[in-house]
Amino acid sequence: MNVKLAVLLKLAAVATFVAMQALIKATDGRVPPGEVVFFRSLFAFPVIIVWLAWRRELRVGLKTDNLMGHVWRGMIGTLSMGLGFAGLTMLPLPEVTALGYAAPILVVVFAAMFLGEEVRLFRLSAVALGMVGVLIVLSPRLTTLTAGQVEAVQALGAALVLMSAIFAALAQIFIRKLVMRERAATVVFYFTLSSMLLALLTLPFGWVVPSGMDAALLVGAGTLGGIGQGLATSAYRFAPASVVAPFDYASMLLAIAIGYVIFAEVPTRTTLGGAALIVVAGIVIIWREHQLGVERDRARRAMPPQG
């Protein structure tokens, strides 16, 4: 275990992903979301290949006993990316980041629904707190549905980002099932490949030839996406998830800084207040998951040997 290295890798991954979002946001909706997903996956793919080769896991990454599981995970994850990228061009970056925090909270709900995991009052209370935070962030958009065109676009953007978070949570459920029999390298490889191929299905819906600037932004976003995936996956090799995962929330500070400096976006008190509740709820859930893991380990060690 190397906690300092794990935290540094995680913070680097967070910074990389926020930078990727900023590059996509800078395209300002000039490129269709499906095309953005394709570029993001296409230029992430070489980075993933190099990363797997460096870790000597390329052959392992290609081997799978559950190809359809990866296809389903790819479909859900690709849909989440496309919706998120569409909403990203309609909303301030800090607001997109705050709504994205709903995903790990929704994972708790979906794990109970689809995996049969027991969720007791403590975690349910944290989920409820987090969803209150989501509603607070959404509240200004819910009151502008009948307002002017700009407000209506932002309301649509909020709906798209929230749907993206829902599908991201569902993707995590697929990943939980996949990693029971598949390596993390395999999951990363097949998601990058499947999202690239699935994005091609949106070609008939109006792809464009990007300008030189937009092409550069998309290439940069894809490359950063691949680097971010490698950094995030590597972080969990050096420390438990309970130590590493809370640093995801550093993305809010970075999103506020980039949003202000590059896009002249100033987060509202509503966004910050709602985000604070979501972050508290997320950290509580992570802490509780860690505690449950410790209790399960103690119970296993206390069991008498068989035979």
Q: What is the pLDDT of residues 253-264, one digit of tens each?
A: 999 999 999 999
Q: What is the percentage of the chain residues whose pLDDT exceeds 70?
A: 92
Alpha-carbon span 178 to 158, nearest angstrom: 30
Q: Give the dihedral sign, CA 84/88/90/93.
A: positive
More confident residue, 290 or 20: 20
Residue 206 lies in a domain: yes
Q: Give the dihedral sign, CA 148/154/160/166.
A: negative
pLDDT confidence of residue 255? 94
Amino acid in the structure at residue 242: S
pLDDT confidence of residue 244? 84
Alpha-carbon span 155 to 22, nearest angstrom: 20
Residue 307 lies in a domain: no
Residue 50 lies in a domain: yes
Alpha-carbon span 40 to 24, nearest angstrom: 9
Structure-token pair, residue 176? 């939980």
DSSP 67: H
pLDDT category of residue 165 using cuts at 50, 70 and 90: very high
Structure-token pair, residue 167? 């599908």
Residue 193 lies in a domain: yes
pLDDT confidence of residue 146? 53
pLDDT confidence of residue 92? 93
Residue 260 lies in a domain: yes
- What is the number of domains present in the chain? 1
Count of alpha carbons within 13 Å of 82, Cβ hemisphere only? Answer: 18
Please check whether residue 184 is in contact with residue 47, taking contact to mean a CB–CB distance below 8 angstroms.
Answer: no
Alpha-carbon span 265 to 4, nearest angstrom: 33
Residue 290 has pLDDT above 80, yes or no: no
Alpha-carbon span 144 to 236, nearest angstrom: 41
Average pLDDT estimate for 200-211 = 94
Residue 186 has pLDDT above 60, yes or no: yes
Residue 306 has pLDDT above 60, yes or no: no
Least confident of 29-33, 131-135, 180-184, 208-212: 180-184
Alpha-carbon span 121 to 131, nearest angstrom: 15
Can you tell me whether residue 207 is helix, strand or coil?
A: coil
Residue 165 lies in a domain: yes
Average pLDDT estimate for 12-28 = 95
Alpha-carbon span 190 to 188, nearest angstrom: 6
Alpha-carbon span 121 to 123, nearest angstrom: 6
Alpha-carbon span 282 to 137, nearest angstrom: 15
Can you tell me whether residue 92 is helix, strand or coil?
A: coil
Alpha-carbon span 248 to 11, nearest angstrom: 8
Mean of per-residue pLDDT scores for the chain: 88
Please check whether residue 187 is in contact with residue 73, taking contact to mean a CB–CB distance below 8 angstroms.
Answer: yes
Please give the residue range of the domain that contains residue 60: 3-302
Alpha-carbon span 83 to 162, nearest angstrom: 9
Average pLDDT estimate for 280-284 = 91
Alpha-carbon span 274 to 280, nearest angstrom: 10
More confident residue, 179 or 274: 274
Counting other chains too, the contacts that 2-9 makes at CB distance below 8 Å and 24 or more residues apart are: 2/238, 2/239, 3/238, 3/239, 3/243, 5/238, 6/235, 6/236, 6/237, 6/238, 6/239, 6/243, 6/244, 7/235, 7/239, 7/243, 7/244, 7/247, 9/231, 9/232, 9/234, 9/235, 9/238
Q: Tens digits of per-residue pLDDT, 76-110? A: 999 999 999 999 999 999 999 999 999 989 998 88
pLDDT confidence of residue 307? 47
Residue 150 has pLDDT above 70, yes or no: no
pLDDT category of residue 6 using cuts at 50, 70 and 90: confident
Residue 241 has pLDDT above 90, yes or no: no
DSSP 182: S
pLDDT category of residue 114 using cuts at 50, 70 and 90: confident
Average pLDDT estimate for 242-247 = 82
pTM of the model: 0.89
pLDDT category of residue 161 using cuts at 50, 70 and 90: very high
